[in-house]
Amino acid sequence: MSGIIDRFRLDGKVAVVTGASRGLGQGMAIALADAGADIAAVYTSDCSQTCKAVEALGRRCLLIKADVGKKASAEKITAETVKSFGHVDILLNNAGIIRRAAFVDFSEKDWDDVMDVNLKGLFLLSQAVAKQMIKQGKGGKIINIASMLSFQGGVRVCSYTAAKSAVMGLTKIMTNELAGHNINVNAIAPGYMATDNTQALRDDAKRNAEILARIPAGRWGTPSDLDGTVVFLASAASDYVNGYTLAVDGGWLSR
């Protein structure tokens, strides 16, 4: 058995990262590359910055432009990754959107759009990648991005809460069916992180102050706060960690 630090290394591994173009996905893609993985970066807008950073670390970066909310994307992402790299070892289901409105006014479109990207897309891509991992016969790592709203209700974000609560449940059933194939499925629940996703909250002085007052660490999280957790869950160091949703939240849930 190799030393413990070596068990965190991802040399020779291939990671599919959805939503790799900015925010938390960009940070985690770069962290996985820093630990040794080549990256298949899924995005819809512009992912050039992420790829530049991955390549600067000496890893390969494959750009895959695909809307994860569309059914055909799951097969396309898996097939293009395998065609280019020969295998896939890690899937990071990070792509996500949020819509804000009062529950009584919440539109069907804002319900469907969020569910399609945050839940159905995650399900379909996990299914396609898990099939490939089973075919490869060498196990794998699937990491889903959950939220504080996997644990709590939140306000004005009902489709997001529904989707992220479901992500935590799906992480458990995927574990039950995939752990026997040596595929570890876990989730990360980030706390309140400073990205585009939370810009509206930080722009609202009252909400910003309320949120900060509740975070024991006393600050918003940053994408790099997830580096250690994502590399751990992607690596052999977490081989007996299954079905768990790990909060990285500056203590928010302890309050």
What residue ranges bind ligand NAP (CB under 6 A)? 18-19, 21-25, 42-45, 67-69, 94-97, 117, 145, 147, 190, 192-193, 195-198
Q: Which is nearer to ligand NAP, 54 or 145 (CB)?
A: 145
The smaller minimum CB distance to ligand NAP, of residues 229 and 236, is found at 229
Residue among 141 and 164 whose Cβ is closer to ligand NAP:
164
Q: How far is the CB of 57 from ligand NAP (least distance, A)?
A: 19
Rounded to a whole number of angstroms, the minimum distance from the CB of residue 31 to ligand NAP is: 13
Three-state DSSP class for 192? Answer: coil
Q: Is 160 a catalytic residue?
A: yes
Task: Give the C-alpha separation, 224 to 24, whole Å.
Answer: 8
- 36 vs 69, beta carbon nearer ligand NAP: 69
Tell me how far, at minimum, the Cβ of 96 lies from ligand NAP, in Å: 2
User: Please, are residues 92 and 28 in contact by the beta-carbon 8 Å criterion?
Assistant: yes
The residue length of the chain stands at: 255
- How, if at all, do strands 140-145 and 183-190 pair? parallel
Catalytic residue, from 160, 192, 240, 244: name it: 160
Phi-psi region for residue 73, left (φ > 0), alpha (ψ -120 to 50) or beta? alpha
Do the Cβ atoms of 60 and 50 come closer than 8 Å?
no
Say if residue 18 is exposed, middle or buried (CB neighbours under 10 Å; 0-12, 13-18, 19+).
buried
Hey, what amino acid is at 21?
S
Instruction: Provide the Cα torsion 232, 233, 235, 238; round to 10°.
Output: 90
CB of 120 to ligand NAP, least distance (A): 10
* Residues annotated as part of the active site: 160
